[in-house]
Every structure is written in C-alpha cells, then in structure tokens.
RNA sequence: GCGGAUAUGGUGGAACUGGUAGACACGCAAGACUUAAAAUCUUGUUUCCGUAUGGAAGUGGGGGUUCGAUUCCCCCUAUCCGCACCA
C-alpha cells in the first residue's frame, strides 16, 4: 500500500482556495458572541518570510483554529510593521524608492504567509506605512499633545559628521559611522518625547494585574522602570565657578555617607560644561567620554576614567572632609542628577575607581564576613552585604534601615543656602520616550514651526500630513529636510510662512497601537471605540522575547494614553502574553572560512564522527556551532522552498513539534524528514481504514472487548490531553499525545477484524478524533482526511469534540515501592485502596521481600496513589 | 558592567502541587518485505557490571534540606537574550 501518497503542495493550494472563497476566517463584529483575539507580533516586511515567522504564526494559528472550533468569534489579523531604516538603506543602495521596496516586499510576504495556510482575516490587513494608518497616528499624537502627554527637550544622539545624519546605535561600529567610517560625535538635538515617566509608577504597579504574562517579562519590565527610594543630597562646593555653589547628587545609600571619598559627575553635567569653557583639557576629557557612545552597555563596560577638577565638595555629615570632584565616564547624565558620591568600600564601581586613583577606602558597615583589618588596605572587591554601621558618628551601631531613616531626618533638617540639604526622592531608571527620528521613511510629526507662534500643531482637518513621494537619497541628511517644497507651509495659527517639522516618529509608535486598529481597521477614527471595547484586550499575544521590554512597555503606555484621550476603555492591551524561542540551525564554513548555506552541505556519517563536504565542489566543510538562523551566517532555511518541497503542514508540524515553544528550536533535516513521514503515515492510515461511511459517534456500542475499550480510552484521553496542552500552549506535548493516538490506531487496525461493527465504530471514532486533534496544526491534511472519512462539511468548520469523562479515569494505579528511596518494585492496585491495603500488598511484593530480608524496618511512608517508601536498617 | 533566562540519553525533549527519570520523536542496531534500493512494518536502544534473575551510577559542577530532589535553598561554570535611534 506504499503507493498511497499525499501530495501536500497540490492539496494545500486547493484547500487554501476553498477557505479563502468562503471567507472562513473573517471575524465578524457581532458583539453578541463570545470573542477571542489572538495576535502575533506583526512582521517587518524585509522581503522574505523566515522560519522564525513560521513558528510564531503557527503557534497563533493553532490557537485561533482551536478557539474557533470551541465556538468563539475569533479575531486573528495580520499587518505590516512597514516603516523603518532598512527601506532607506535599500533606497540608497539600489536606487529604489522606500515605498516601492516596502510594498513589493509586502506583496511577496503576503503570498508566502498565505501559502502557510494561516487562518487570518485578510480583510483587516494594513501596513503602518499606509497613509490611512499613519494619518490616524498623527491624530492620536495631536490628542496626546493636547492632553499634556508630549514634551520637547534636548537629547543626545550619535552624529555622523560626514553623512550629516543621526546614526542608530547599530550603525555605530567601533565608534565610527558604518557607511562613512567617520568618527561619531555626540550631539544634543531638541526632540519630541512622550512622557512615559509620568506613568512609571503605574506601569510597575499594574504588572501585578497581569497574571497572564510570564514572570520573567514582568520582572524585566520592573527592573527596566527601576523604581528606587533614595535622597537628593546637596553638597557645598569649594573653589568652584560662581554659578555652581553646590552639587546635587541622587543616592539610594545616604547611610554610607561617612564612607564617601570622592564625588563624580557625568561628562554631560552642566558643571563639566562650565569647566570646559576655559579649560581645553577638560573639554578633551569630555570628548573622550562622549566617544564611548550613547548606549548604557558601552558606558558601563568601558574602563573607568576620571578627571580631577580640583574642586572639592564638603561632606554634609562631616564638614571637615573635603571630597575631590571628578568628571567620570561611568556616571550617566540621564539618571538621577548626573552626579554621585563615591563610597568605595560598599560599591564595586566606586571601588574600581578609588583603586585606580588612589582614593581612601573607609568601611562604614560591618558584618561577620568582613575582616576590617585586611579590607581597607588590599581589597579590590567592595562589600555589598548589609550589616551594622561603624565609623559613622551618630549612626554607629544602627542597622541599614535605622541609619537610612536617621540620615534622612538629619539632612532634611540641615540647611544649605536656605534649603534643606537633603530631600527624600523616589527615582526611576525609566527615561522619557524619545520619539523623533531624523529620517524619511516614517510617520511625519504633525507640527509646524512658526517664527511668531512657535511650535504649532497641524489642524486636525489638515491631516494626514503625507510623506512626499518625490525624494532623493543622493544627498547626506534627511530627505524631508532638503525637499524643495514639502516643508514650506502656512502657520496653522497666524497663516504666515513657516516650516514643517521634518522629523518622523520612532517606528515603535507604529507598533504601539496596531492591535487596537485591528478591531476596525477601516474606521474613520484612529480607533473605533465600540469595536475596541468588544475585541480588546488581546486574549493571546505571541512574539519574541527580544520585545520583552521596549515594544511591550511602549504599548502599555500608549494604551493608557489612548484611554486618557477616550479611545479605549482598558489599561492593559495584552491580557495574555507568550514569548516564543528562536529558530536555530547548525552553521557551516567552507575551507576559506566563508559561511555556507546548508543546502550546499552533504553529510557523511561514517561510524562515529559526522563529516560534511560541499555539495558541488566536494571540498570539506567545517561544521560549526548551533546559532540563531540569520542571513549573515547563512544558516537559514527558506520557507518558500520548503513549502514547495514538503508542504506547509510539515513546516507547521515540525516547528512546534519537539521543543517547548518558549525555548529555542533546533532545525534539523532529520526532524523535517520525521515530520514529513508522519504526514504520509496519517494519510495512509486514514485511507486504509475508511470506506466513506460516516458513523453516528453519539451512539457508542456497549460490550466492547479489551482492545476496543483500550482504543476508546486512548482516544478520549487524547481529546482531553490535547485540549489541555493547546490551552496551555504546550504544543510539543499535544503532538506527543497525537503520536501516541496514531500508534494506538495503527496497532489496533493491524489486529482488528474490520468487519466487526464494534471495531468499525471505535476505529472510525479514533480516526475522526485524530483528524480533529491535529487539525489546528496541519489544517490542510485535516481537510483531506476529513473528506476521505466521508464528512461533507469542512474540518475547519467542525466543532471541537468533547471527551467521555468515564473513559479518561483509570480504576487502578501503579505506584512505585521504594526501599530506602530506591525503587524495588511496582504495585498495581485499585485507585481507592486504603493505606492498610497498600501496605499489605506492598509487603507481599517479591522485590520488597527480597530487599528487607534480615533488616529492621525503621519507618514506612505510604502516600496512597503516589508512593510507598520503606526505610530499613 | 547591569538585567533576564537556559543546562536531562547519541539528538530534540517529557515528568501535575517534591513521589516510578528518560513519555513522544529523531538517530542507530537487528529482523521482515524486495533481485536490489527507497518506502513500509516488527523488535531493541541512558551508561557501566552480569549469560541471566539482578545490581551500581545517573538530570551542567559542588554543597545543603528531606523517608524521598530534574523539582526547594546556597555557591560555581558554560551558553544565549536585552540594555532605550535595529525591528
């Protein structure tokens, strides 16, 4: 019977056409039905779908199809995160308009997505670069502006002086611009900000209301926002430029003030700038600090350096102590006040700095693990353990909490220049969200700069502010800025000649509200309130862990901002969040050390070691480590080729089959083969055991023999377990259960008398349920099998089966019997056996008798249904 | 540097609230079918000792709690992800 073959690529097209014609997956805005909104993070249209997308969207699709079968009105939409730098890069490199490039990519990727058989509502599709979308985004911005959620202030950027452009962090390589190779400078530009810090506290607190989010993501967000309780302390300065009589620092550890040995200010601090004015050495040092870059990572991993300004600061608790003030490269201007005091004994960064510049180290907190005698002189490691205060005057003997309270009171009451010298302050690591980008391919910021009226919002009636199509990329800088006419407009207020803002929005804004637009993507308003009230929040959001912080935090903020402006009613956009792992693959290099695409690699497995050679040249190939699939390492598998060869169902099945979905997934050819063979095996199994007669599954026959009963048991257990596994997103577990059911059906079918009515029934029931259970994962094969079984409707329209509870409960259990914690035998006994019965039966077991012979019983642990453990001596 | 995660056979992984470690799949081995191969089917497969009944070890490494630890606690190692203008 091996000639029964399932031609997946051909059949898949057939069923996709039928689904599309019937518009089977379009959500209806019928607000009377129970809804379920499943959304996967929409893709950037890079031009090609990759396997990461396939895995991500398969997970969402399984849920969508499952929930549909469960009777929900399911919204499962798709769109495109279509603004961004790659389009501009393509424009410069290949002389193609970013819009053309983007829409072409979208067309290509849409075809690819459709070939995967995802049950998407294509009628709601949009791209963020559609003027219908970004025009609404401008409407939102104007509302936010009016609501006081927007700010304009200076911010530091990477500046390429040759290309005359702002560089993204990823475009700065070793301190140089990626294209020009020029030394990157830091510049302060006036930019637009969303006041996300106004919501800092709420964004932390509300994490508690998100039980459907992974704890690790909530923790990451909480750490990112970084709430800390501390003090602002004002230090009097000596020998300082007159406009800076004092220096304000933020500290969470004012209790360690007696251990202070220096002050450090950021290179961006106004005091540093003032000193640099007439001291070129200071300026040079500031420039050095700036060269490190704008990322926190770069700043914190750079070797610690300081410049002694010659100024000193008076310790507010110890007026005789004058602390040297350094400009230091490890102090961030964006956090706190941009100035700190250094207490080397109890902070590692301060310790590193103190050892480098020979500054004193004073221990002010003692604990049992700290030897004060050796510590001061030699230690390179700061001691961060809590203890009791020493060398700290009025705080001596206090613990940390007491000392924090005491020092706070003291500094609050102490005056400097007529103000309290210290104030308690809650600080956040979170900074306001800078949203200005000096680029063309983004949403124009709808404001106008007028000499007379200042910054004026565009009138709502004049929206959208459309991007001009006729731009060139041959000149350095922002094309919007040097467009001949676009930016010249009349001021909306006074009518005089003025200029448009030429910055565009950060593309994170585009992705911060798209989920709400999907509720009614044709709506005249940015968000259709009624539709949003029905569909939001997203019941299941799925995407990569790399978005754990920024995208998800911005969306949470944005949703609150939209609520404030009356667009939505709820705070949290995503009720349940799932972060899936990446797809990885082995890497290969040829003899010259160049990365090699897997399709060129042939393997020899002679015995123990695996060897590889080039498919064409026969040259040996080095097998490298497993890495995330990426173009640069060429360890990618193209979904289009794959679907042409094996079909979408195999890809869908394989990408969620083995690994738990939150974990990385290793792509192997062997795994692909296994999945492909399984699709064929199912098709054979269904063909060989069906005659097109549909039996009534509501009327199960009585008096089944043992074999038939056991097939019914596994059928119903499978319904139960697969349902549960899908609900929990444990797709790999669901798949293991489907394999088990398949094995059981094969084994039954090979033995059973197929003329027997009972056998026919249990076999038909098992096959029907099997097809339904794998249906969400391999929907095309399911339709084909469904038809083969004799059903006249579509599998995709069939409701999810229920299971008979009685068949899923066993009446006996087998429990392990241990002697001294080691398993010695297994006891099979009635589920409801009492402790005494279990004990009696356990001691009758051969394995027990053998192992307790001649020994004394010390203890017996009997947990019914679980374990027997006999402790002997 | 800071923050987050991961580690179980040859491989991917399973194991509910601490209770039979290795489900399920891949691979491999042997066998059946075949002129042969592919495909398919059957059986076996953590490692070590033993012909075997059986025994010992075993969930990255080290320690601890417990009758019992992949699961809880402490320390360490390795790998991966994020760090605000990549999306």
Tens of pLDDT, residue by residue over A262-294, are 999 999 899 999 999 889 999 999 988 888 888
State the pLDDT at residue A3. Answer: 58
Whether CB of A859 is under 7 Å from strand B: the answer is: yes
Residue A371 CA to B74 C1' — how many Å?
Answer: 22
- The stretch A829-857 carries a mean pLDDT of 88
* C1'-nearest nucleotide to the CA of A550: B84
Residue A385 CA to B76 C1' — how many Å?
Answer: 19
Give the containing element (helix H, strand E) for A587: strand A583-589
Q: Which of residues 737-776 of A touch strand B (CB under 7 A)?
A: 739-740, 743, 746-747, 750
State the pLDDT at residue A342. Answer: 92
3-class DSSP string for A500-555 = ECCCEECHHHHCCCHHHHHHHCCCCCCCCHHHHHHHCCECEEEEEHHHCCHHHHHH
Contact (Cβ atoms closer than 8 angstroms) between residue A635 and residue A586: yes
- The stretch A495-505 carries a mean pLDDT of 95
Q: Which of residues 88-107 of A touch strand B (CB under 7 A)?
A: none
pTM of the model: 0.92
* C1'-nearest nucleotide to the CA of A607: B28
Alpha-carbon distance of A280 to A258, in angstroms, equals 34
Nearest residue, CA→C1' of B69: A821
Residue A824 CA to B48 C1' — how many Å?
Answer: 19
Residue A64 CA to B26 C1' — how many Å?
Answer: 29
- The stretch A667-690 carries a mean pLDDT of 90
Instruction: Give the rounded percent of residues in chain A with a pLDDT score beyond 70.
Output: 98
Contact (Cβ atoms closer than 8 angstroms) between residue A872 and residue A819: yes
- Work out the number of other CB atoms within 10 angstroms of the CB of residue A206: 14
pLDDT higher than threshold 70 for residue A701: yes
Nearest residue, CA→C1' of B14: A733
Which pLDDT band, with edges at 50, 70 and 90, does A2 fall under? very low
pLDDT higher than threshold 60 for residue A452: yes
Contact (Cβ atoms closer than 8 angstroms) between residue A768 and residue A697: yes
- Work out the number of other CB atoms within 10 angstroms of the CB of residue A619: 12
Alpha-carbon distance of A867 to A2, in angstroms, equals 47
Q: Which of residues 795-814 of A touch strand B (CB under 7 A)?
A: 814
* C1'-nearest nucleotide to the CA of A740: B24
Q: Which of residues 236-275 of A touch strand B (CB under 7 A)?
A: none
Cis peptide before A159 (omega within 30 of 0): no
Whether CB of A348 is under 7 Å from strand B: the answer is: yes
**Chain B footprint bases within 7 A of protein beta carbons:** 1-6, 11-16, 19-21, 23-28, 38-42, 55-57, 67-69, 80-87
CA-CA-CA-CA dihedral for A771, A775, A781, A783, to nearest 10: 80
Tens of pLDDT, residue by residue over A238-251, are 988 888 999 999 99
Contact (Cβ atoms closer than 8 angstroms) between residue A349 and residue A330: yes
Which pLDDT band, with edges at 50, 70 and 90, does A1 fall under? very low
Whether CB of A871 is under 7 Å from strand B: the answer is: yes
Q: Report in angstroms the alpha-carbon separations of A221 from A227, A513, A550, A688.
A: 11, 19, 9, 54
Q: What is the DSSP letter of A425?
A: E
- State CA A102 to chain mean position distance: 24
* C1'-nearest nucleotide to the CA of A83: B87
Which of A70-84, A518-532, A806-820 has the lowest average pLDDT? A806-820
Query: And the tokens for A25?
Result: 């997956």
Whether CB of A626 is under 7 Å from strand B: the answer is: no
Which of A117-126, A188-197, A522-531, A579-588 has the lowest average pLDDT? A579-588
Q: Which of residues 354-383 of A touch strand B (CB under 7 A)?
A: none
- State CA A97 to chain mean position distance: 31
Whether CB of A332 is under 7 Å from strand B: the answer is: no
Angle at the Cα of A539 from the Cα atoms of A536 and A195, rounded to 5 degrees: 55
Tens of pLDDT, residue by residue over A610-661, are 677 787 787 877 777 777 787 777 778 888 888 998 999 999 999 998 888 9
State the pLDDT at residue A495. Answer: 92
Q: What is the DSSP letter of A468?
A: P
- Average pLDDT over chain A reads 90
Residue A551 CA to B73 C1' — how many Å?
Answer: 35
pLDDT higher than threshold 90 for residue A546: no
CA-CA-CA-CA dihedral for A654, A657, A659, A665, to nearest 10: 10
Residue A297 CA to B1 C1' — how many Å?
Answer: 7
Alpha-carbon distance of A541 to A57, in angstroms, equals 11
Contact (Cβ atoms closer than 8 angstroms) between residue A45 and residue A16: no
Nearest residue, CA→C1' of B21: A823
| ipTM confidence | 0.93
Whether CB of A506 is under 7 Å from strand B: the answer is: yes
Alpha-carbon distance of A573 to A552, in angstroms, equals 9
* C1'-nearest nucleotide to the CA of A84: B87
DSSP result, A477-510: S-TTTT-SSTTEEE-TTT--EEEE---EE-HHHH
- The stretch A568-585 carries a mean pLDDT of 90
Whether CB of A680 is under 7 Å from strand B: the answer is: yes
Whether CB of A295 is under 7 Å from strand B: the answer is: yes
- The stretch A519-537 carries a mean pLDDT of 95
Alpha-carbon distance of A267 to A810, in angstroms, equals 71
Residue A755 CA to B26 C1' — how many Å?
Answer: 36
Whether CB of A549 is under 7 Å from strand B: the answer is: yes
* C1'-nearest nucleotide to the CA of A828: B20
Whether CB of A665 is under 7 Å from strand B: the answer is: yes
State the pLDDT at residue A609. Answer: 58
State the pLDDT at residue A607. Answer: 47
Whether CB of A433 is under 7 Å from strand B: the answer is: yes
Tens of pLDDT, residue by residue over A777-812, are 999 999 999 999 999 999 999 999 999 998 988 888
Angle at the Cα of A775 from the Cα atoms of A769 and A779, rounded to 5 degrees: 150
Q: Report in angstroms the alpha-carbon separations of A256 from A14, A170, A240, A345.
A: 73, 39, 25, 9
Whether CB of A430 is under 7 Å from strand B: the answer is: yes
Residue A731 CA to B11 C1' — how many Å?
Answer: 20
Residue A515 CA to B41 C1' — how many Å?
Answer: 51
Which pLDDT band, with edges at 50, 70 and 90, does A37 fall under? very high
Tens of pLDDT, residue by residue over A285-320, are 998 888 888 888 888 888 889 999 999 999 999 999
Whether CB of A167 is under 7 Å from strand B: the answer is: yes
pLDDT higher than threshold 60 for residue A767: yes
Alpha-carbon distance of A78 to A62, in angstroms, equals 15
């Amino acid at each position: 019977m091996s000639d029964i073959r399932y031609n997946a690529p051909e059949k898949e097209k057939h069923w996709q056409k039928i689904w599309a014609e019937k518009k089977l997956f379009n959500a209806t805005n019928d607000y009377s039905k129970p809804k379920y909104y499943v959304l996967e993070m929409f893709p950037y249209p890079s031009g090609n779908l990759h396997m990461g997308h396939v895995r991500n969207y398969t997970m969402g699709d399984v849920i969508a199809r499952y929930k549909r079968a469960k009777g929900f009105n399911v919204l499962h939409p798709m769109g495109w995160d279509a603004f961004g730098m790659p389009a501009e890069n393509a424009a410069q490199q290949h002389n193609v308009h970013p819009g053309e490039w983007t829409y072409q990519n979208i067309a290509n990727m849409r075809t690819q997505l459709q070939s995967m058989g995802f049950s998407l509502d294509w009628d709601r599709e949009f791209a963020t670069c559609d003027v219908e979308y970004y025009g609404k985004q401008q409407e939102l911005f104007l509302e936010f502006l009016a609501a006081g959620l927007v700010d304009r202030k200076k911010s530091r950027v990477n500046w390429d002086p040759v290309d005359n452009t702002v560089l993204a962090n990823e475009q700065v390589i070793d301190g140089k611009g990626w294209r020009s190779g020029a030394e990157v400078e830091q510049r302060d530009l006036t930019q637009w900000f969303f006041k996300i810090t106004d919501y800092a506290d709420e964004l932390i607190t509300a994490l508690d209301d998100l039980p459907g989010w992974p704890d690790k993501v909530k923790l990451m967000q909480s750490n990112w926002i970084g709430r800390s309780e501390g003090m602002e302390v004002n230090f009097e300065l000596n020998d300082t430029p007159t406009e800076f009589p004092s220096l304000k620092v933020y500290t969470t550890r004012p209790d360690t003030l007696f251990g202070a040995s220096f002050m450090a200010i950021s290179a961006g601090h106004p005091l540093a700038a003032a000193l640099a004015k007439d001291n070129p050495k200071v300026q040079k040092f500031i420039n050095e600090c700036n060269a490190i870059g704008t990322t926190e990572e770069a700043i914190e991993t750079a070797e610690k350096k300081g410049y002694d300004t010659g100024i000193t600061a008076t310790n507010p608790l110890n007026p005789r102590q004058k602390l040297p003030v350094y400009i230091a490269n490890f102090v961030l201007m964006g956090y706190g006040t941009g100035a700190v005091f250094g207490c080397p004994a109890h902070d590692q960064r301060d310790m590193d700095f103190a050892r480098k510049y020979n500054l004193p180290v004073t221990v002010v907190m003692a604990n049992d693990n700290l030897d004060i005698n050796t510590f001061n002189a030699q230690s390179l490691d700061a001691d961060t353990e809590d203890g009791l205060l020493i060398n700290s005057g009025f705080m001596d003997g206090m613990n940390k909490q007491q000392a924090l309270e005491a020092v706070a009171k003291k500094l609050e009451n102490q005056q400097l220049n007529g103000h309290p010298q210290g104030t308690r302050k809650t600080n956040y690591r979170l900074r306001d969200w800078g949203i200005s980008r000096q680029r063309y391919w983004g949403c124009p910021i709808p404001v106008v700069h007028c000499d007379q009226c200042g910054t004026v919002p565009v009138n709502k009636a004049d929206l959208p502010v459309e991007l001009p199509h006729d731009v060139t990329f041959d000149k350095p800088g922002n094309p919007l800025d040097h467009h001949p006419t676009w930016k010249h407009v009349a001021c909306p207020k006074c009518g005089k000649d003025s200029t448009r803002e030429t910055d565009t929005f950060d593309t994170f804004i585009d992705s911060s509200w798209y989920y709400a637009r999907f509720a009614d993507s044709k709506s005249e308003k940015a968000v259709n309130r009624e539709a949003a009230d029905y569909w939001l929040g997203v019941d299941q959001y799925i995407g990569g862990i790399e978005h754990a912080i920024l995208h998800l935090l911005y969306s949470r903020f944005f949703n609150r901002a939209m609520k404030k402006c009356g667009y939505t009613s709820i705070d949290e956009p995503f009720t349940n969040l799932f972060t899936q792992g990446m797809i990885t693959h082995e890497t290969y290099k040829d003899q010259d050390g160049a990365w090699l695409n897997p399709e060129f690699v042939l393997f020899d497995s002679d015995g123990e070691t695996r060897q590889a050679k080039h498919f064409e040249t026969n040259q040996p190939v080095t097998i490298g480590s497993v890495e995330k699939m990426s173009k640069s390492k060429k360890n990618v598998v193209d979904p289009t080729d794959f679907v042409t060869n094996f079909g979408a169902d195999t890809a869908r099945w394989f990408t969620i089959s083995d690994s738990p979905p939150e974990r990385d997934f290793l792509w192997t050819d062997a795994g692909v083969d296994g999945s492909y063979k399984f699709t064929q095996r199912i098709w054979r199994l269904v063909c060989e055991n069906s005659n097109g007669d549909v039996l009534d599954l509501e009327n199960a026959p009585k008096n089944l023999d043992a074999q038939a009963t056991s097939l019914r048991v596994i059928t119903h257990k499978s319904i139960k377990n697969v349902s549960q596994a899908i609900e929990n997103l444990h797709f790999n577990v669901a798949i293991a259960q489907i394999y088990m059911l398949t094995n059981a059906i094969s084994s039954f079918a090979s033995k059973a008398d197929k003329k027997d009515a009972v056998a026919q029934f249990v076999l038909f029931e098992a096959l029907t349920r099997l097809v339904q259970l794998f249906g969400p994962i391999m929907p095309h094969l399911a339709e084909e099998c469904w038809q083969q079984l004799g059903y006249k409707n579509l599998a995709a329209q069939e409701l999810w089966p229920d299971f008979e509870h009685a068949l899923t409960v066993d009446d006996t259990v087998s429990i392990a019997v241990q002697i001294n914690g080691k398993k010695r035998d297994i006891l099979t006994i009635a589920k409801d056996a009492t402790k005494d019965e279990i004990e009696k039966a356990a001691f009758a077991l051969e394995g027990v008798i053998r192992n307790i012979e001649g020994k004394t019983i010390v203890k017996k642990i009997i947990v019914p249904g679980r374990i027997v453990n006999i402790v002997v001596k």
